A = this chain, B = another copy of it.
Amino acid sequence: MHPRGRTEWVLTTDAFLENVHFLLRAHSAEDVGYKALARATSDLAAMGARPLYFLLSLALPPSCTAKWFDRFLEGMSRAARSFGLVLAGGDTTKSPLAAINLTVIGEVTPGRAVLRSGARPGNLVCVSGTLGEAELGLRLLQRGLQKRKKWKRLLRKHIHPEPRLALGEWLAKSGRATAMIDTSDGLSTDLAHICEASGVGAKVWANRIPKVSVPSDLRKLGLDPLRLALDGGEDYELLFTVPRRLGQHLPRAVQGVPITIIGEITREKQNLLIDESGQTKDLPAQGWDPFLLRHSAGK
């Protein structure tokens, strides 16, 4: 492949594994194919890159039939078309457990890729979309509640996340974002990633966070919107920082995706949450940690 004229390439690689990230009995082949590529592509969105090519490395157990494989490819093709990606190569093998690895290649204007490390004290902390929706869907699935008709729509974000490519590109091109990450691990953990890489802290207002709306009969099961929004992963929204002076010029939405200012970056290397009653608390990183496997399989 030929990089075009004045452009910079960014590459990301992402593993999507049976029993770690998905369950063959709970997720359809199409959904596995779609989500594997959506997750990997979200990393490009978070740098503000435009997707170009991807490489698929696929290991499948004998239980995955030719029909399963066809549907998997259908789901992945749908994602590829929707994100503007072209399959550039791959590798296939058999394995006791399904293991999918995607490498996605994108381009950015030289010097315009947004990193995690550029957040500065005084910057505003912003987030796209709504947080906690994917985690709510996962919890319903884990409790076997996904089949109830009235809750089916609550699974949408868990099954079918949408990388925020247009917003990411817009933020990068316009040079507005000083740091950016996608909320794959959850707000508390992904904000910690930005703060650590930037050598800063942050303060977030609980009542400003765009939280998932949880039906009252599910709230009774202990599903709290704030906790889902703070620690739930896989929303694949963009969490980014902008200079304070840009705050009032930020549009409320870019291509239909809402943007909300939820906090600010501080000099003190400590992440804090101002709760709904105005109390200041620690904001520990309690999202997805691959080395803890704190969440059960399916996350």
Interface residues of A (CB under 8 A from B): 1-3, 8-15, 17, 19-21, 53, 55-59, 62, 88-97, 99, 101, 103, 105, 110, 290-291, 293
Contact = CB atoms under 8 A, between A and B. Distances in A.
Contacts of A3: 3, 9
A248 to B, nearest CB: 36
Total copies of the chain: 2
A92 B290 contact: yes
23 contacts: A2-B8, A3-B9, A9-B9, A11-B53, A12-B89, A13-B56, A13-B90, A13-B91, A14-B57, A15-B57, A15-B58, A15-B59, A15-B95, A19-B95, A19-B96, A20-B93, A20-B94, A20-B95, A62-B293, A92-B291, A94-B293, A95-B97, A103-B103
Nearest to A17: B95
A59 B59 CA distance: 13
Contact of A97 (B13, B55, B93, B96): B96
A106 to B, nearest CB: 12
A33 B101 CA distance: 18
Contacts of A1: 8-11
B94 A290 contact: yes
B2 A91 contact: no
Nearest to A4: B3
Contacts of A291: 92, 94
Nearest to A2: B8
Nearest to A90: B13
Given A2-B110, A99-B59, A99-B99, A93 B9 contact: no
